[in-house]
Structure 1
Amino acid sequence: MSFTVVLVGRPNVGKSTLFNRLAGKKLALVDDTPGVTRDWRSAPAHVGGLSFTVVDTAGLEDVTDDSLEARMRRQTEQALARADVALFIIDARAGITPLDRHFANLLRRGKTPVLLVANKTEGKASQPGMFESYELGLGDPIPLSAEHGEGMADLVEALLPYAPSEDEEKAEEVDDGFDPSIPIGDQPEPEEDRSKPIQIAIVGRPNVGKSTLLNSLLGEERVLTGPEAGMTRDAIAVDWEWRDRRFKLVDTAGMRRRARVDEKVEKLAVADSLRVIRMANVVVLVVDAAAILDKQDLTIARLVISEGRALVIAVNKWDTVDDRAMALRQVEDKLEAALGYIKGVKVVTISALKGHKLDTLLDGVLETYTVWNRRIPTAQLNRWIEGVLDHHPPPLVEGRRVKIRYVTQVKSRPPTFALFVNKPLDLPESYQRYLTGHLRESFDMPGVPVRLLLRKGKNPYAED
């Protein structure tokens, strides 16, 4: 992106609504409840021929202690310092508040250029607030309605002076191979392209250390952490590099059992986490060493596998465990009982707070990602199926043998195979599970989903 635009303002003035409008999709959670957004998040924006990075932030609060609101404000100030221009958003219908005046004074003294945006200007009720906004000393307000998309042309015109010239854009232009218009999990897959980031979703129950893990990997306080459960609400995506590999790390909200989720904002946050899982390449399930793989952990793990994502389990707070051998046996037993059909899920013990074994975790992520991308030549698959049929042919159905003619891999991510059978409906599920497990073992594909599709047809390579 050519330049960065940050959205700031007090809570509930429409920053996240404008963020979604500029990004062209519903990425940030939006609700009437003040303070829904807590961490800053960014996305590419393309409006009126102008391309830039837009950053959504938490609502500004006039607090400087160690409370949650003060930590949210420090996160916003961090995003503001990195931006090329700030949009200070006010609610024109509510008029100018003392908090608006306070932060307008702070923004005027800062180094980042500021444009004043009067949101919610649809209808006559906004006119008094528009006139009041001149007293903030930030110039003419830009009237718009983020919810209805009105006034976007005026906003683009105001941002034009901050866009780099064509010569500057050409000098900075680098073809990194990543197309942000394509959904995260749907990048082209025939050959692994190292220029494209590996999408890693960090998921788990509330308060297991997901945000602490993200901060430890990045080496900075990128997202809020603290003893309060449910700190993260929006899924926060961060681009990152490690050992010459590009990653997109996504921190998600904690996922409790559905019966315990009653607040509307938490429901929105969990739905956002599910969206991230569906678009990820590798999902790191963070579990607490004090309650390893409880029922909800296993529910999340099964969801990840059912979505076809690669799974790595990070046992956090390992430094607090006394009997580590017993804890590891407990992990193995629970995985065998609940996920026995997915052999070899990578389990890494870490301490996110102290930064212990994070390299080991990332090595496990790369190994699992490589398996998830694996492609097996058709010739090898058909030699394999011949050996399987010689040693363990399909059972008889009504006195007749089901004939397996040929097998090929139709896609990777996850590895998916088409089995051509004369009577697909007659091949028992138990034999299909046997073939899937044998495939996984024979071609060394531990810890990832392997899918087997039954097709009716003849071997296209066989002569008539």
Structure 2
Amino acid sequence: MKIFDPIPNVVLLGETNVGKSSLFNKMVGERVSLVGSQRDLTRDVIIKTSVTSNFNLVDLPGINRTDEIDHFIEKIPSVNAFLIVIDHTGWNDISNRFLKYAMNSGKKVLVLVNKSDLGHVHSNKNDMETRYISVLRNHGTDELNKYISSWFEEDEEEELKSISWGFVGRSNVGKSTLLNKLIGQERFLVKDEIGTTQEVNAVSITGKNKIFHMIDTPGYRKNTNLSDLEKASQYRLLKAINVSVSHFVVLIDITQGISRVDLLLMDKIWSRGKGLIVGIGMWDKMNSDLVVLSNAKKELKKRFHGVYCIAVSGITGYGINNLVNAMNEVETKMKKKVQTSHLNKWFASMKNTDAVNRSGIKYITQLGMNPPSFGLFSNRTIEDTRLRYLERKMIDHFDLQGVHLNLIVKHKKDK
């Protein structure tokens, strides 16, 4: 089952130490691939989309034999173009074989001569489209994304909206398996061992008038007795939660119950005003016990009022359509603007409640979106319990399930 259309994949192909990873980082706008003078720093396939392009850029490990290419290419669901990267020293037997491999694929091929500032070398491939660049000197790199994007442009009536969804959870709960089923591609690496995913990996796919950035994250683990590599993966996970990702699916293994680690992850996401869905995984392993599912939903919604709880299976595909529908709902509600007249009418109906009377709230107004934020104008300090009560009432009344509202108490002296 394929719900989305995949975004084109453009593969960087070149031997070790010609500057592929530096170019990759430059084109995606952040330091994703490791860069250094040491050989073989990139050891796995990395796929990333920059905000200024309409394609996925793929960085392969530095390889020196063409028979190694297929091993990594098979991890990519489809290849639409190759960027052959050489440096100022020119062509050699290895790079010539890489070029032949790309040409035989029948895909679009562009040759990039990096480090051209160290000595301008003619590519000697008159029949090949060639660009001379220097990543270090920022020469010829800025326009690459725009140029390559032009290969895949289509006439569109509406501009595509970009939405990021992070899939998080404990190690080995099936995040990568679920993502593969969701996008209809065997894109994310799956193994029956803890810690298989160490990087924050992303693939971009198109839906109706939207680009979804699906992000697979390392499993969340207690920060004790971890190796330096594991600590680095946990740092990248927390950075995604705190900064770079706006919506999350927290996948839990219901056969192990709802753990303290699960709740801690949800708290981190919910408290930061991010969109939240809880994926209840492994439910099919419990013979689809409705009592277990109902109890799990009650426990979660008591703590995170209105949160979507979706039973899913990355193996069978159960619940995938429900998950996609919930993702669309949460994304819409995160940017919902409540009409002032509706807000005033609801507030008038609440004036005789203790939550409003004892809080001294005079009026309420919406301040912003993503998440929906509301200003409560009062001459008193409002207790947290009353704020949570008002939030629950607003979530139910204005149909804002899956969103943690940002209620800001403002006093007359506040500007």
Larger Rg: 1
| Structure-1 residue corresponding to 2:156 | 174
1:75 aligned counterpart, secondary structure: coil
> Which residue identity does 1:26 align to in structure 2?
E
Query: Please, what TM-score do these two structures have when normalized by structure 1?
Result: 0.70
| Structure-2 residue corresponding to 1:88 | 85
> Which residue identity does 1:382 align to in structure 2?
N
- Residues paired across the two proteins, number: 399
Q: Write the distance in 2 (CA, Å) between the matches of 1:363 and 1:162.
A: 32
1:115 maps to which of 104, 111, 118: 111
- Deviation per CA, 1:267-318, whole angstroms, max 9, x where unpaired? 5544444454445453211223433432222222111112211211112233
Summarize the Cα distance change of 1:435–1:249 in structure 2 as closer, same or farther, 3 Å threshold: same
- Deviation per CA, 1:53-109, whole angstroms, max 9, x where unpaired? 5613221655979xxx96534235x65x411x42234696xx999866764553454
> Which residue identity does 2:376 align to in structure 1?
L
2:220 maps to which of 237, 256, 274: 256
1:427-446 map, 5 Å = 427-446=382-401
2:223 aligned counterpart, secondary structure: helix
1:210-225 map, 5 Å = 210-225=175-190
> Which residue identity does 2:20 align to in structure 1?
K
Task: Give the C-alpha shift of residue 137 in structure 1.
Answer: 12
Q: Write the distance in 1 (CA, Å) between the matches of 2:324 and 2:362.
A: 40
1:320 maps to which of 258, 281, 285: 285
| Structure-2 residue corresponding to 1:407 | 364
- Deviation per CA, 1:4-44, whole angstroms, max 9, x where unpaired? 85312346654232122123x20624255723542433336
Summarize the Cα distance change of 1:369–1:144 in structure 2 as closer, same or farther, 3 Å threshold: closer
Q: Write the distance in 1 (CA, Å) between the matches of 2:291 and 2:15.
A: 50
Q: Write the distance in 2 (CA, Å) between the matches of 1:274 and 1:176.
A: 34
1:448 aligns with 2:403: yes
Query: Which runs of 5 or more structure 1 residues have no equivalent in the other structure?
Result: 46-50, 179-195, 397-401, 459-464
Q: Supply the RMSD in Å over aligned alpha carbons.
A: 4.3
1:22 aligns with 2:44: no
> Which residue identity does 2:113 align to in structure 1?
V
> Which residue identity does 2:369 align to in structure 1?
S
Q: Write the distance in 1 (CA, Å) between the matches of 2:163 and 2:145.
A: 32
More deviation, 156-165/262-271? 156-165
Identical positions, percent: 22
* 1:11–1:35 contact (8 Å) kept in structure 2: no
2:202 maps to which of 236, 243, 253: 236
| Structure-2 residue corresponding to 1:417 | 374
Query: Please, what TM-score do these two structures have when normalized by structure 2?
Result: 0.77
Task: Give the C-alpha shift of residue 331 in structure 1.
Answer: 2.1
* 2:11–2:60 contact (8 Å) kept in structure 1: no
Task: Give the C-alpha shift of residue 247 in structure 1.
Answer: 4.3
- Deviation per CA, 1:101-146, whole angstroms, max 9, x where unpaired? 7645534544343525345x787xxx8xx99x98999989977553
Summarize the Cα distance change of 1:157–1:408 in structure 2 as closer, same or farther, 3 Å threshold: closer
* 1:7–1:54 contact (8 Å) kept in structure 2: no
More deviation, 12-21/295-304? 12-21
1:75 aligns with 2:75: yes
- Deviation per CA, 1:403-456, whole angstroms, max 9, x where unpaired? 321111222322211111123xx3333332332233233334333201211112
Q: Write the distance in 1 (CA, Å) between the matches of 2:55 and 2:294.
A: 47
- Deviation per CA, 1:181-206, whole angstroms, max 9, x where unpaired? xxxxxxxxxxxxxxx35433222233
> Whose RCO is larger (CA < 8 A, sep 6+)?
2
- Deviation per CA, 1:224-276, whole angstroms, max 9, x where unpaired? 333353336243131222xx463404122223225148455555544444454
| Structure-2 residue corresponding to 1:308 | 273
2:170 maps to which of 194, 205, 226: 205
1:310-389 map, 5 Å = 310-322=275-287, 324-325=289-290, 327-329=292-294, 331-332=296-297, 334-335=299-300, 340-389=302-351
Summarize the Cα distance change of 1:449–1:11 in structure 2 as closer, same or farther, 3 Å threshold: farther
Query: Which runs of 5 or more structure 2 residues have no equivalent in the other structure?
Result: 1-7
* 2:112–2:133 contact (8 Å) kept in structure 1: no
| Structure-2 residue corresponding to 1:399 | none
Q: Write the distance in 1 (CA, Å) between the matches of 2:51 and 2:406.
A: 34
| Structure-1 residue corresponding to 2:4 | none
1:222 aligned counterpart, secondary structure: coil
| Structure-2 residue corresponding to 1:284 | 249
Task: Give the C-alpha shift of residue 344 in structure 1.
Answer: 2.5
> Which residue identity does 1:383 align to in structure 2?
K
1:34 aligns with 2:22: no
More deviation, 433-442/356-365? 433-442
> Which residue identity does 1:177 align to in structure 2?
E
Task: Give the C-alpha shift of residue 394 in structure 1.
Answer: 5.7
Summarize the Cα distance change of 1:350–1:91 in structure 2 as closer, same or farther, 3 Å threshold: farther
1:106 aligned counterpart, secondary structure: helix
Summarize the Cα distance change of 1:444–1:218 in structure 2 as closer, same or farther, 3 Å threshold: closer
- Deviation per CA, 1:155-213, whole angstroms, max 9, x where unpaired? 68999998969xx97xx4435324xxxxxxxxxxxxxxxxx354332222333222222
* 1:38–1:232 contact (8 Å) kept in structure 2: no
